[in-house]
Amino acid sequence: MLSLKLPRLLSINQVPKVFRERDILFGYRHPWSSARDCIFSVFQMTNETVNIWTHLLPSGYFLWKLFVLLFAWDVWNDPFAWPFLTYMLTCCLYPLASSFAHTFSTMSCQARHICYFFDYGALSLYSLGSAIAYSAYVFPEEWVGSTFHQCYIFIAVLNTVLSTSLSCYSRFTEAERPKFTKVIRTVAFAYPYVFDSLPLFYRLYLCAARGCSEIVIPSHYRHVAFAFLTCFIYATHLPERLVPGLFDYIGHSHQLFHICAVMGTHFQMESLLIDMTDRRDWLLASSPIPSISQTVGPVVASLTISLLIIAAFSTTLYSVPKFSRREKHRD
């Protein structure tokens, strides 16, 4: 009978520093795995396996939701739905990019950095997708058509450039300055989220101050709660920092971070669907119908710029051999 011999797993002291995760002591894959070994590791219990599946399965779920909506709506004749479909595409992309990054990040030092460059770029693009949907469906009545509303998407595009640049740069400081890296990377993703959510936060504030009966508000609150929980878990490394080694395979912060992020996206999606349906008539009467240039255009521009940024940082990895050698031989 054909038997499959899975690669041996390593401890934290057996892999270079660039591959190590804080307070995760065991379950590491070989730092120079083949593509075949990386694919097989998806079905082997390592300290990355749950990271892979907690984003691979949701990407399939979001893709299924997208196809259901495409068949249910007359998309080509309903420009009002284009911002939501653009947002849905970014929802499918970011968990898929994360899953691939976790799968193939142990092929080499350079491959690890490049895998996460694409992961960060996809997250930045998701932030822009959220901004496009918020601009179309979530803005409070007082801000619709305002100067801020008119500049909102343009600033969101700039934020994706900043986010991708900062997060990719943080890969170069990770070994020498881990605390600084954590701050930079957290800011790189927290700031675009806060900016994107300013219309939502103001709307929630008005609802609390004046009292309102919108059925979407509880769903918005659930999304915000999971978003802040995602940031908290990512920044604190709980629970593994309390008992290093206990949560190496199941239950460490990155897995919880993935789950909370996906749950936040789910509630965000549900909230946007409700707002798009309930506010449709008022929004169509109060603001211009979204065009392709206002929906797909910013995403294409941001995707192009992000790919150029990733290419520049990737070229740097290979043009500075001492960087890769230092990481490869570091104990």
pLDDT digits (tens, 9 = 90+) for 15-59: 999 999 999 999 999 999 999 999 999 999 999 999 999 999 999
Integer Cα distance of 194 and 188 in angstroms: 11
pTM of this prediction exceeds 0.75: yes
161: pLDDT strictly greater than 50: yes
pLDDT at 328: 46
Q: Which residue has the higher pLDDT, 158 or 72?
A: 158
Most confident range, picked from 5-14, 72-81, 112-121, 290-299: 112-121
pLDDT at 211: 84
Which amino acid does the sequence have at 258? H
Bond into 140 cis (ω within 30): no
Bond into 239 cis (ω within 30): yes
Tokens 């960087």, residue located? 323
Integer Cα distance of 106 and 325 in angstroms: 16
Over residues 92-121, the pLDDT tens digits come to 999 999 999 999 999 999 999 999 999 999
Beta bridge partners of 194: none
Based on the number of CB atoms within 10 Å of its own CB, is 66 exposed (0-12), middle (13-18) or buried (19 or more)?
middle
322: pLDDT strictly greater than 70: no
- Which two structure tokens, joined as six digits, stand for 308? 């150029």
Confidence of residue 196 (pLDDT cuts 50, 70, 90): very high
Ordered alpha helix ranges (H), 105-146? 109-137
- Which two structure tokens, joined as six digits, stand for 1? 């009978």
